[in-house]
Amino acid sequence: MSRLTEVDLNLLVVFRHMYQERHTGRVAEIMGLTQSSVSHALKRLRTMLGDALFERAARGMQPTPYADAIAAEVDDVLSALEKTLSYRNTFNPWESQREFHVAMTDLGEVYLLPRLINMLSHCAPGVRITTVRDTAIPLKTEMESGRVDLAIGLFPQLEAGFYQRRLFDQRYVCLMRAGHPLSEEAFDEAAFRDAQHIIVMAQDTGHKRIVELLSRAGVPEHNRLRVPHFMAVPYIISETDLVVTVTEKLALQTAHRFGLVARPLPCELPVVQINLFWHSHVHRDAGNIWLRQQFMQLFTE
């Protein structure tokens, strides 16, 4: 039995053409070789496989039983190799059934997903989105391994090995229910510090820095309520006198539905840049490129 290291794929190509044409002259013409080169290749192939393979007959070269037995397998192997080598990194959104995993906060889900899903329903009906956050494995590791395709938000931990593209800036406002004592009265730093706050922890995101800045601004550590995510916040403040510092986009998405009022902050908080992140190993992946383009077209400001 011949080992793979002894196999010259060009000899198998000669065999396939020879099996189809049964004539060394026609094989030479097809392959752009001399007839003597084809004969020499057949001689090497016979030595390697230990069989005559083709024998002279009245109508050209006839395959031996051994050649008949291996012809289909040789053709399958060469066809599979040709398909592999001619592979093109393409993505057809209309036909794709691909599932993409995208890391984002619950705040990102509220703002980004409605528009994204509406777009997908029109141009990529089979594409599925799974959002990811707060896993036991660090996001950096998940993206390096390929388990997460994209991340959207403020993620300081995504640095080396990651590409990023700015989408928009986030400004912070103070959100409260309509009719709250502070919704119409003077809203200065003293009133802001004295209010009962919800503090959103949002671990492993850039919002942690905002929590630290609120503390420096005098929002007391013994605030009324701390929650891990933003999602429940509109429900809570719509029925209490608590206030919360959130992004302007969340305020715009929820104010009308929950009867809320957004007021400018009386203290300075930095504008936060929201970026789209992807790892270098998917930089040239056609599907990832397509999804990045959709996010950029929908949300870049």
Domains and CATH numbers, the chain: 4-85 (1.10.10.10), 99-169+273-299 (3.40.190.10), 172-270 (3.40.190.10)
Residue-level pLDDT at 79:
82
For residue 171, give both structure tokens.
């400004």
Q: Which residues of the chain have pLDDT under 50?
A: 1
pLDDT digits (tens, 9 = 90+) for 217-236: 777 665 778 888 888 889 99
Q: Is the CB of residue 177 less than 8 Å from the CB of residue 261?
A: yes
Give the separation between CA 9 and CA 72, rounded to whole angstroms. 15
Alpha-carbon 131 to chain mean position? 11
pLDDT digits (tens, 9 = 90+) for 258-296: 999 999 988 888 888 889 999 988 888 999 999 999 999
For residue 23, give both structure tokens.
């004539």
User: Model pTM?
Assistant: 0.67
Residue-level pLDDT at 1:
46
DSSP secondary structure string, the chain?
Answer: ---GGG--HHHHHHHHHHHHH--HHHHHHHHT--HHHHHHHHHHHHHHHTS--EEEETTEEEEPHHHHHHHHHHHHHHHHHHHHHT------TTT---EEEEE--HHHHHHHHHHHHHHHHHH-TT-EEEEE-S-SS-HHHHHHTTS--EEEE--TT--TTEEEEEEEEE-EEEEEETT-TTTTS---HHHHHHSPEEEE--TTSTHHHHHHHHHHTT--TT-SEEES-STTHHHHHTTSS-EEEEEHHHHHHHHHHHTEEEEE-SS----EEEEEEEEGGGTT-HHHHHHHHHHHHHH--
Which amino acid is it at 29?
Answer: E
Residue-level pLDDT at 29:
84
R_g (Cα) of the chain, nearest Å: 33
